[in-house]
Structure 1
Amino acid sequence: HVSVKSVRYRGPGAGSRASSGLLVGTSGNSLYEVDDVTNQSRELVGGHCLGRVTGVSEHPTEGHMFATCGEDSTVRVWTEGKASSLSTWRLGAPATCLQFAPDGKAVAVGLLRGE
């Protein structure tokens, strides 16, 4: 049984899509995009980590890029259409949430232990 662990709104024109939708991280360590007009979903990333994807954030100026965090204590930056991450940072504890800075030059991450 796979459950939703993180959701982020994705505005029109982001990435390769003309309509808006949701980025959805799951307990099955995958990331999906769900179109809010057609309700169709597609897998963007399969196998983020060895646990759940707990956070997702779209890059504010590069709509084809997004970051994920997970129970495996990593943050990963992805681009649509690539099977592997562009960058991976190993953290000292499981991550629970993340957000790109408004200029896209940094990522703020919240850790399970409150940091």
Structure 2
Amino acid sequence: MGVLSSLQVLKLNNNNFGGKIPLSLQNCSDLETIDLGGNKFSGNIPLWIGSEVYMLTILRLRSNNLSGHIPQQVCNLPNLQILDLGHNNLSGTIPKCLNNITVLTSVNTEGAYQIIINKQQ
């Protein structure tokens, strides 16, 4: 999948995909939407989200088996509008830098914690 460097939308939600989120996706630098919700992905949220892939407007990883914390790299997504990480096994605090993303309209991390941010300018 990583050879699709101009891929903009990846919606593979509600399947039975498992294992770690593929590292090869870091080569899809034009991604604007990642929706992998409703699967069985495990491990941490990849650090390449926000470093290699930074054009995201929608990041949905809800209802998986992800663990660990929300990485600081998520704060490097200036166009992020929807961040949905609910119903995982995440721990730690929500990075304060998410408050600095001015186009962010919704953050859902229910299950571990929940916050909704509405920023309309």
By the TM > 0.5 criterion, same fold?
Answer: no
* Greater strand share, structure number: 1
* Greater helix share, structure number: 2
What's the TM-score once normalised by structure 2's chain length?
Answer: 0.24
